[in-house]
Amino acid sequence: QAFFKPINNAAPSSTPNPHNKISVIGVGNVGMAIAQTILTQDLTDELVLIDTNADKLRGEMLDLQHAAAFLPRTKIHASVDSSATAGSNLCIVTAGARQIAGESRLNLLQRNLSIFRSIIPPLVRHSPDTTLLIVSNPVDILTYVAWKLSGFPSNRVIGSGTNLDSSRFRFLIADHLDVNAQDVQAYIVGEHGDSSVALWSSISVGGVPVLSFLEKQQIVYEKETLENIHKSVVESAYEVIRLKGYTSWAIGYSVANLARSILRDQRKIHPVSVLAKGFYGIDGEVFLSLPAQLGRGGILGVTNVHLNQEETQRLVDSAKTILQVQTELGI
Ligand code: 6V0
């Protein structure tokens, strides 16, 4: 006997809801923070976790499933086999090797490259229409690697890039001005991490451009304070890692925010890593963050934001450094 007594004349729904499926590859600190934010924000109907560490994977899956009574209904499964990802709308890649003491960045990158060689082709085979969202570091180079390995058009391969750096920037500006970070518009573009570029002229609070406001009011231009804020952004990841061993919550929210814009076709603008060839005089195939509009088709367009000469130069220099590493890697 069925648990529920069916209601005979209940009309079956003629238009089933579109089914969303997200796969998260790598269930380390970052992958799990992303997974749990996606669940609490009700962004998907199905969530698949993939990792090579079978015990950790099953443990993480069970731990999330046990929260079902408190969460929106989402089917959660986990597998070491990437066929479980079949039909994903979005694949978020956080898998990566951990840096061994004394290991060079290039060696670490080489190891991540071989991890990507084992991850990306099967993902693409099982979900040929998916969008790839790359989080593993160095994110700009690995997004390029994923693009090359996938054979996808560049609009469907996105790196989380400076979305996180920009949110750290917005928090610090908000804290300095004692306003809500959601009212602060400010972009950091370029390479994720040390050589990122802060777009000072982009800062506005509640629609008021901050720099020109200060200049018009003849308030002392707080260049030093602003530069220190950017320095803190660059240092903040190192600080968190030094204090707690890794970063997780902010990248979790930041990537869930990107997932929402993509899957819910929000057409919001985020600074994310995109194929930057053709922008600001960059002529090589490199991925760098620029403010881009995200929707169901992935990258819908890139904002033609004004960069001054110094900002352009820094972007071009980052592109050159990245190209050189890509050449050294032979990719
Ligand atoms: P972690 O906790 O070591 O997790 C990595 C996970 O990847 C582990 O569970 C591994 O078992 C798994 N893994 C390794 N190889 C494979 C494979 N072939 N297939 C599937 N899974 C695999 O690292 P953590 O979660 O802290 O960080 C993950 C990555 O995110 C690192 O590269 C970080 O540098 C990067 N981050 C990127 C950020 C950004 O803004 N883009 C921010 C924070 C961290």
* The ligand 1 atom nearest the CA atom of 246: 26
What digits encode the pLDDT tens for the residues 30-41?
999 999 999 999
Instruction: Please work out whether the CB of residue 138 comes within 6 Å of at least one atom of ligand 1.
Output: no
Q: Active site residue: 19, 66, 192, 270, which one?
A: 192
> Which is higher by pLDDT, 222 or 170?
170
Q: Is the CB of 158 under 6 A from ligand 1?
A: no
Query: Residue 146 to residues 50, 187, 275, 279, 295: CA-CA distances in angstroms?
Result: 17, 25, 12, 21, 20
State yes or no: pLDDT of 174 exceeds 80.
yes
Characterize the bridge pairing of strands 46-50 and 298-302.
unpaired
Would the pLDDT of 16 be above 70? no
| Residue nearest (by alpha carbon) to ligand 1 atom 21 | 51
Quickly state the pLDDT bin for 98 (edges 50, 70, 90). confident
pTM attached to this predicted model: 0.94
The residue whose CA has the least distance to atom 1 of ligand 1 is 28
Is the minimum distance from the CB of 201 to ligand 1 under 6 angstroms?
no
Query: By C-alpha distance, which of 96, 122, 123, 97 is closest to 22?
Result: 123
The pair of structure tokens assigned to 1 is 């006997």
Is the shortest distance between the CB of 252 and ligand 1 below 6 Å?
Answer: no
Task: Determine which helix (DSSP H) or strand (DSSP E) holds 95, and give its type and residue range.
Answer: none
Please indicate whether residue 27, judged by its CB atom, sits closer than 6 Å to ligand 1: yes
Specify the ligand 1 atom closest to the Cα of 80: 20
181 pLDDT above the threshold of 80: yes
15-24, 184-193, 219-228, 312-321: least confident range: 219-228
Looking from the CA of residue 53, the nearest atom of ligand 1 is: 11
Pocket test of ligand 1: the residue of 25, 30, 255 to mutate, having most ligand atoms within 8 Å of its CB, is 30
pLDDT of residue 195 exceeding 90, the answer is no
pLDDT tens by residue, 33-78:
999 999 999 999 999 999 999 999 999 999 999 999 999 999 999 9
- Is residue 66 part of the annotated active site? The answer reads no
* Banded pLDDT at 217 (limits 50, 70, 90): low
196 within ligand 1 shell (Cβ under 6 A): no
Query: Residue 155 pLDDT > 90, yes or no?
Result: yes
For the Cβ of 298 lying below 6 angstroms from any atom of ligand 1, the answer is no
Average pLDDT, the chain: 92
- C-beta of 236 in contact with ligand 1 (< 6 A): no
Question: Which uninterrupted H or E stretch holds 111?
Answer: helix 105-126
Gap from CA of 95 to ligand 1 centroid (Å)? 4
Ligand 1 nearest-atom number relative to CA 254 = 40
pLDDT score of 52: 98
Residue 83 — very low, low, confident or very high, per pLDDT cuts 50/70/90?
very high
The tens digit of pLDDT for each residue in 285-298 reads: 999 999 999 999 99
Query: What pLDDT sits at residue 286?
Result: 97
Best of 29, 135, 253 for a ligand 1 pocket test (most atoms within 8 Å of beta carbon): 135
Q: For position 270, what pLDDT does the model report?
A: 97
Return the SS3 of 271: strand
The span from the first CA to the last CA of the chain, in angstroms, equals 61
- Residue nearest atom 43 in ligand 1 by C-alpha distance: 247
Average pLDDT over residues 203-221: 76
Following DSSP, what letter does each residue of 198-249 receive, concatenated? Answer: EEEEEEEETTEEHHHHHHHTTPPP-HHHHHHHHHHHHHHHHHHHHHHSS--H
Q: Enter the tokens of residue 208.
A: 């008021």
Which of 88-97, 108-117, 191-200, 294-303 has the weakest average pLDDT?
191-200
Q: Is the pLDDT of residue 300 over 90?
A: yes
Q: Is the ipTM of this complex over 0.90?
A: yes
User: How many helices (H) and strands (E) in the chain?
Assistant: 9, 12
